[in-house]
Structure formats: C-alpha cells, structure tokens
Amino acid sequence: MREMAVIIQRDLPSVQAALQTSVTPIAAGSPEAAAKPLLELRAVTKSFGPVTALADFEASVAPGEFVTVVGPSGCGKSTLFNIVAGLEEPDAGGILRFEGNSCHAADLLGRVSFMPQQDLLLPWRNVVDNAILALEVEGMPRAEARAKALKMLPEFGLAGFEKQYPHQLSGGMRQRVALMRTFLFERDLMLLDEPFGALDALTRAMMQRWLLDVWQKYRRTILFITHDVDEAIFLGDRVLVMTARPGSVKLEQVVDLPRPRRPEIVTAPEFVRLKRTLLDAIEEESMKSFQSAVAEEKAK
C-alpha cells in the first residue's frame, strides 16, 4: 500500500504536466526519421546444437526509440537479448551493428544496460548499493555513485528506502531498484526483459506509466521484451512480433498513438485495432509452436 501511495503522489505532477502541454509526437519515434540506427541486426542466426533459436533475425532500432518485442514463449526472445547484451555470440554470417559500426556481440559487454527478467538484487547490499553496482564496476568512487543514486531515489518511488535490504522490499519495489540500477548504468541502449512480468496487474499498470515518464525524461533507447500485447502497444513506438522458434520477425507494427499516453488509451478504437492485428499474428505463431510441440511429443 505504502508503495502505491508513493507512486500515485509522484505521478500527480507529471499528470498535470501532461494535461498542460499539447501532445507532441517524438521525432525519433518514427523509424523513417532515423538517419542512422543505434542498433542493427541483419540475418542474425543462433543455434544451440540441433536447436535453432533465432533464424535470419532482422531489426533496427533508432536512437531514442522505444521498441517492444512480443512473441510466443520459447521463440528466442531471451536469446536475442543475450546477443544484444553481449553475453552470447551469434552464429557466423549474421551482421551486428552498434552505433553504425559492425561488431561482435562481446564488444557490446559494458555498452548496453541490460535488465534481466529477475531483479537479481544482491541480498547483502541495501537499495542504494544495489543501484550503484554497475557504477562501481565502472570504477566510480562509492561516495560519488551513492550521491548520484540518492538524487534519483524519489523518481523511482524509493525515497526513504535507501537503507533497506532487498528482503524488506515488495516485488514492485525490488523491480524499481533493478530498473534504477539499469538507468544509472548510463548507456544509449537499454534492454529490458519482461521487467514487469512477475508483478500483479495493478502494480504493473502503474509501473508502465512510470516507465514512460522516466523514459521521456531521460530519452534512452529501449528494447523491451514482453508477453503482454497491451503492454507492448501501450509502451512502444514500434512492436516487433516474433515467429515461433526459430525466431525471426513476423510483423513489424508502428504504434502511432500520441504521447504521452493515458491509461484510458487501451480502450481507444485505434488501440483495439492494433491489438487485434498483433493478436492475430501472435495467435498464428502460438498455434505453430503448440503444434510442433505436440508433433515432437508424438515423435517420442
């Protein structure tokens, strides 16, 4: 309850601001406007032994853009993220470009701020010290990093919680600490892997609105994985629908809904139309992956 109150209080000024300013589309939001993509993947393939997780994956992300990725479970979304985070090398033949330069996945280590599905907070570090983990790794003195994090706490709804330890926090707060850790690791590209997947619907809706606020303020480029089509449309400038395994892009849908987006937008006709298009595409792929799973079962 306490945490909700914090968010609601914090949201009020931004809601007022949103009402006062006229709706301005974000230039970087439309892919046409991007002269030079920040991240580009061409014909990226990744196999693990006999299993091909990604096949000829193509995508590009413009600076400042918010791109969401949806797809049936097991479609290789996490493999995609591991490649872009630099944790796994794709098979030879594909092209990976970052800031216009072709590179190996390993070159991306330390250049992309990555937030995995689990918050992975370290239980022996309090909120502030968890948030500054990446800064510490970079070699910033602790005092300086802590001061920086303390200034950011209110914005993440964590004011007054700096001395708390992860086991004392609710799921939503832990997730915000993890997000703060990701934000403090200031990189142009942020990778968020289902960050709100484990939260209840109410907390999740608030976190989404809050994330948009923070994104608009900091203007980072975000690549965001989710299972939830509503979330993908509500947050994204563009939604990539992935095919069943081996994963590639089935559909690339531009979301031209105005920003800032209000929660009611999910019932607007444009929103519902987009949702239908996306759901149809996902449904088709889910059926495929379901059928292939059944076929595999039978083959056994």
Partner 1 sequence: MSAALPSSSLAVQRGVLGAVLLVLCWEGLARGLHLPSYVLPAVSDILAGVWSKRALLSEAAGYTLLEALVGYGLGCLVGIGLAVAITMLPVLRTVILPAATAINAVPVVGYSPLILLWFGIGVVSKMVMVAMAVSFTVFLSTLAGLDRVDRRAVDLMRSFGAGRLSILWRLRLPTALPLLLAGMRVSTVRSVIIAIITEMLGAYGGLGWVIYQAVLQIDFVQVWSAIFVASAASLSFFGLIGLLERKILFWK
Any contact of residue 227 with partner 1 (CB under 8 A)? no
SS (H, E, C) 20-51: HCCCCCCHHHCHHHCCCCCEEEEEEEEEECCE
Contact (CB, 8 A) for 157 and 210: yes
Q: How far is the CB of 109 from partner 1 (least distance, A)?
A: 6
Q: Which of 45, 82, 203, 208 binds partner 1 (CB under 8 A)?
A: 82
Any contact of residue 112 with partner 1 (CB under 8 A)? yes
Any contact of residue 118 with partner 1 (CB under 8 A)? yes
Nearest to 194 by CA among 219, 222, 169, 228: 228
What is the rounded distance in angstroms from the CA atom of residue 268 to the CA atom of residue 102? 41
Q: Which of 20, 123, 269, 296 binds partner 1 (CB under 8 A)?
A: 123
Candidate ranges 13-21, 37-45, 80-88, 248-256; the one touching partner 1 (CB under 8 A): 80-88
Contact (CB, 8 A) for 278 and 70: yes
Task: Give the footprint of partner 1 on residues 150-179 (CB under 8 A).
Answer: 165-167
Any contact of residue 114 with partner 1 (CB under 8 A)? yes
Shorter beta-carbon distance to partner 1: residue 120 or 293? 120
E strand residue ranges, the chain? 39-48, 51-61, 66-70, 95-98, 101-102, 112-115, 189-193, 221-225, 238-242, 249-254
Candidate ranges 5-13, 53-61, 134-142, 198-206; the one touching partner 1 (CB under 8 A): 134-142
What residues make contact with partner 1 under the rule CB under 8 A? 82, 85-87, 109-114, 116, 118, 120, 122-124, 133-134, 136-138, 165-167, 185
